[in-house]
């Protein structure tokens, strides 16, 4: 009996060895192992592993993934806008076993948790903003708020939310025209403000320039006296009289008694 039992055990062992093979785990994946419905504590890193047929290998994708979502959501004014949004995320490798045990894999986590939570976040966040905010400079603020809220909700799910991107916003036609008109008016107002600042600076420059000329003239006028002018006239007369050119000098005949000089070059 013992011999028969040993023979059977050896046969089963030989069959197991002959049926054993290899299994691979792709790069940036984690292999979660399962035996007869029980998730094993160990996981497989990327690479080639010895595999037995009673071991189930579930490969969890830990690469960066992008999920595109098309949704409609209300704003604070009660308008319903269409949003094209992308979620960029990846599964944490150390959470791969838990992702399989709790959700049956990454697809289960995305479909049952990530997408519903994201849709809820979009509605909650956009309800606090006006439609024009989604269409203008506050767009980045809306995206940042969505990212912050979704990260908080998914913090214990084994998924890292890298970014939320608002790709397209569709407003009701009348609202879109009103928003475009407002943005155009804002641009014109900013341009006019720039022109006014430029003109104001130019006027200030001209005022300073005129003040400088006025101050120069005042200083020069204050330093010129009749005696100085007469002295300068005498100096000029001496220089002209001493020049080799022919001239006639009438002494004491000019204004203030200065000589009058008549003559020309030969």
Global confidence as pTM: 0.57
Q: Where do the structural domains in the chain lie, given as residue ranges?
A: 17-61, 65-177, 180-223, 226-264
Taking only the tens of pLDDT, the chain with its 266 residues reads 466 666 666 666 555 554 557 888 999 999 999 998 899 999 999 998 888 788 889 999 999 999 998 888 888 877 888 888 999 999 999 999 999 999 999 999 999 999 999 999 999 998 888 877 777 778 889 999 999 999 999 999 999 999 999 888 887 676 666 656 666 676 777 777 777 788 888 888 888 888 877 766 677 666 666 666 666 666 766 666 666 665 555 555 455 555 555 555 54
State both tokens at 100.
């399989």
257 closest CA partner among 218, 225, 214, 227: 227
Which CATH code of 3.30.450.70, 3.30.479.30, 2.30.30.830, 3.40.980.10 fits the domain covering 65-177?
A: 3.30.479.30
| CA distances (Å), origin 245, targets 233, 259, 261 | 19, 17, 11
Q: Which helix (H) or strand (E) holds 120?
A: helix 115-126
Count of beta carbons in the 10 Å neighbourhood of residue 116: 11
């Amino acid at each position: 009996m013992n011999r028969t039992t040993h023979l059977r055990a050896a046969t089963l062992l030989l069959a197991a060895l002959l049926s054993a093979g290899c299994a691979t785990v792709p790069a940036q994946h984690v292999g979660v192992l399962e035996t007869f419905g029980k998730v094993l504590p160990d996981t497989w890193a990327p690479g080639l592993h010895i595999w037995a047929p009673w071991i189930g290998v579930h490969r969890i994708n830990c690469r960066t993934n992008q999920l595109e979502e098309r949704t409609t959501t209300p704003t604070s004014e009660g308008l319903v806008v269409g949003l094209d949004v992308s979620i960029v995320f990846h599964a944490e490798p150390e959470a791969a076993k838990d992702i399989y045990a709790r959700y049956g894999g990454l697809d289960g986590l995305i479909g049952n948790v990530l997408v519903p939570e994201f849709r809820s976040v979009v509605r909650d966040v956009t309800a606090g903003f006006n439609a024009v905010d989604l269409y203008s400079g506050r767009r980045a603020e809306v995206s940042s708020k969505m990212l912050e809220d979704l990260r908080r909700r998914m913090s214990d799910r084994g998924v890292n939310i890298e970014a939320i991107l608002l790709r397209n916003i569709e407003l009701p036609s009348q609202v879109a025209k009103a928003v475009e008109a407002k943005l155009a008016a804002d641009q014109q107002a900013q341009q006019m403000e720039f022109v006014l600042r430029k003109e104001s600076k130019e006027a200030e420059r001209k005022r300073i320039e005129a003040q400088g000329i006025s101050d120069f003239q005042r200083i020069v006028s204050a330093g010129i006296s009749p005696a100085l002018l007469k002295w300068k006239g005498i100096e000029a007369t001496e220089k002209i009289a001493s020049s080799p050119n022919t001239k006639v000098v009438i002494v004491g005949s000019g204004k203030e008694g200065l000589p009058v000089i008549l003559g020309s070059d030969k």
